[in-house]
C-alpha cells in the first residue's frame, strides 16, 4: 500500500496514495480522556463499520509501541475512512506526547480546514458526579456549528464546567479557524475505562448519522468491568474488622 506525506515538517499526516477527502465529509476523533470514552468510541466505530485504514500520523514524539489487530500491524495514530457515510476517523491509541500536543492539534486542525471537512465530531467523557438530570451527555459546539446543533437534541455544557486536554485544545483551534465542530461528552465513571458510556455515545451517533455500529460488545465489556468492581468492593468490605461480628 503506497502512502504520500501531506507536509514536509516533523509532523506528517501520511495518506494512502490516491485517497481524497470527499466534499461533505465528517472528521471524527476521540482521545484517552475521562473513562477513555473518546478513544473507545472512535476505535469501536472503525471496527464495527469495517472502516478502511487510509493513513497515519508520524511525528518526532511518536510512541515507541506497535501491536497487532485482525492480523494487521497497528500504529499509534491511524486514519480510517468509511466511504458510505463520508466519515474519516483518527484513532489515537495513545495520547499525543504532552510536549507536542499543541503542535499536533494545530497541524491536525489545519489539515481539517485545508481538506474542507463539513464538520468535526470530537468525542469525550464528562465526570458523572456532575450529572444533575436525566440527560446522558452534553454538547460543546464551535460558533460555526451552532446552526446544526438542534439535530443532536443534546443540552449544552453548563457554564462553569470545563473541557480539558487535547479535546479542549482541538475545539479551541477549530473555533479560531472558523470550522464547524462539536464536542460530545457522555457522563462516565472516573478512574477506569467506561465502555457503557462509549456505547451511549455510539447509540447517539447511530441515530444522527444513520450508521449501524453494534454496541453489544461495549455493553458486555461494561458488565464485566462492573462485575469485577463489585467483587473488589465486596472483598474490601469483608476485610474490615467490624465486619467480623454480627
Digit-coded pLDDT (tens) for 129-158? 888 889 999 999 999 999 999 999 999 999
- pLDDT computed for residue 67 by the predictor: 87
Residue position matching grid coordinates 510512541: 63
Across 59-63, 72-76, 95-99, 215-219, least confident range: 215-219
Q: Where are the domains of the chain?
A: 3-240
Digit-coded pLDDT (tens) for 199-237? 999 999 999 999 998 888 887 876 766 666 666 566 666
Domain spanning 3-240, CATH architecture: 3-Layer(aba) Sandwich (3.40)
Across 109-118, 182-191, 211-220, least confident range: 211-220
Amino acid at each position: 500500500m503506497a502512502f504520500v506525506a501531506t507536509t514536509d515538517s516533523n509532523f506528517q499526516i501520511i495518506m494512502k496514495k490516491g485517497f481524497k477527502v470527499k466534499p461533505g465529509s465528517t472528521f471524527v476523533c476521540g482521545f484517552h480522556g475521562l473513562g477513555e470514552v473518546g478513544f473507545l468510541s472512535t476505535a469501536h466505530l472503525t471496527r464495527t463499520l469495517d472502516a478502511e485504514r487510509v493513513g497515519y500520523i508520524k511525528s518526532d514524539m511518536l510512541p515507541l509501541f506497535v501491536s497487532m489487530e485482525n492480523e494487521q500491524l497497528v500504529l499509534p495514530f491511524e486514519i480510517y475512512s468509511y466511504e458510505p457515510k463520508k466519515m474519516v476517523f483518527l484513532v489515537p491509541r495513545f495520547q499525543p506526547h504532552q510536549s507536542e500536543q499543541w503542535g499536533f492539534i494545530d497541524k491536525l486542525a489545519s489539515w481539517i480546514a485545508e481538506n474542507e471537512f463539513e464538520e468535526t465530531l470530537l468525542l469525550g467523557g464528562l465526570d458523572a458526579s456532575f450529572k444533575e438530570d436525566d440527560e446522558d451527555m452534553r454538547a460543546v459546539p464551535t460558533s460555526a456549528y451552532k446552526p446544526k446543533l438542534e439535530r443532536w437534541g443534546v443540552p449544552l455544557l453548563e457554564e462553569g464546567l470545563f473541557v480539558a486536554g487535547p479535546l479542549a485544545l482541538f475545539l479551541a483551534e477549530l473555533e479560531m479557524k472558523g470550522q464547524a465542530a462539536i464536542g460530545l461528552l457522555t457522563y462516565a465513571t472516573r478512574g477506569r475505562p467506561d465502555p457503557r458510556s462509549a456505547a451511549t455515545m455510539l447509540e447517539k451517533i447511530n441515530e444522527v448519522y444513520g450508521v449501524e455500529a453494534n454496541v453489544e460488545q461495549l455493553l458486555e465489556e461494561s458488565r464485566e468491568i462492573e462485575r469485577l468492581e463489585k467483587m473488589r468492593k465486596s472483598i474490601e468490605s469483608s476485610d474490615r474488622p467490624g465486619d467480623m461480628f454480627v
